[in-house]
Amino acid sequence: MAEDTKKSIDLIIGLPVYNEVQAIETVLTSIRDALVDIYPNYQILVVDDGSNDGTSEKLDSMIDVMNGMLKVIKHPYNLGNGAAVKSCVRHAQGKHLVLMDADMQHDPKDILKLAAELNQYDLVVGSRDFKSKGFWPRRLANVIFDGLASYLTGFKIKDLTSGFRGFRLDVIKGFVHLLPNRFSYPTTSTMAFIKAGYTVKFVPIVAQKRVGKSKLNPIRDGMRFLIIIAKMVILFEPMKVFFPTSILLFILAVVSFVLALLGENRLYIPNSAVFLAVSSIIVFLIGAVAEQVSALRVSMESHKSDS
């Protein structure tokens, strides 16, 4: 009977939480007010990632107030935002999962916008528009990341790093092992869904200034975003990386040969040209093999999600 109840949940709202005592009560009650008349059998699934500021105690006090709609999972210590998201995905039981931040950046009323699209799309992302509030260098960095990711995937990405997103739960469960334990789960999930051929939609939202201090480091986490973008492309479409690299090495080999030819006034192939040409061939062959492995992986993941 308990299992039937879990399966009948219409919508799960996942909240990864770490030291959000200032905002958590307002966020929970706002979600309740936004959903109670539309989704009578929703669930709010909170993963407390080792909070030490009173968030844990506040969550305990909210369980009765939320009339059984709140479920809290607690990590014994801080594992990272991505690890909290993984716990949300693994413990969620139902059809659709919407993940959002617990710092009041996201308007709970926008959950309805995302949920309305989940019957048609596998991933729906709340795309922050120009009216959204935030640290402008980070917004500029997001524009750069969006452009790079769009080029690499061949898909127009409007907000790569938005943490407000809805999933078909059976699909995201198949990709949970790819998610990093710290930040950047949005980047990973977006790239994975696009490259695996699942449907993705970006829904415009307006984000507000967060309550409390941000836990992101622009430089450190910016580098992580770049690494994750490269990693996802290598995992799902490796020739996007290996082929341009191979061409670049080949061009450098030709340049080295021409410079040596002009300098020596005779047919002469320097060691550098040989090295670069051989490296170009090796990189291309590695990319070709990686492409086949990637196609096999995507096929297996798709079969796993559909079964």
- For residue 33, which amino acid is it? D
Given a cut of 70, the residues of the chain with pLDDT beneath it are 1-8, 130-139, 210-222, 225, 232, 297-307
Q: Where are the domains of the chain?
A: 2-235, 239-306
pLDDT at 208: 78
Instruction: Choose which CATH entry (3.90.550.10, 3.90.1150.10, 3.40.1410.10, 2.60.40.420) describes domain 2-235.
Output: 3.90.550.10
C-alpha dist (Å) from residue 7 to 4, 31, 40, 95, 132 = 5, 21, 14, 8, 36
**Bridge pairing between strands 42-49 and 11-17:** parallel
Q: Collect all residues with Cβ–Cβ distance below 8 Å to 128 and sequence separation of at least 6.
A: 134, 159, 162, 205, 206, 207
Q: Would you state the pLDDT for residue 245? A: 93
Instruction: Look at residue 160 in the predicted model and tell me its pLDDT.
Output: 86
Beta bridge partners of 98: 13, 166
What's the pLDDT score for residue 3?
41
Q: What is the pLDDT of residues 215-274, one digit of tens each?
A: 566 666 667 767 777 776 777 778 888 999 999 999 999 999 999 888 877 777 899 999
What pLDDT is stored for residue 212 in this prediction?
56
Token pair for residue 35?
């959903």
Looking at residue 211, its pLDDT comes to 67
| pLDDT per position as a tens digit, 182-196 | 777 888 899 889 888
Distance CA 144, CA 155 (A): 15
pTM of the model: 0.77
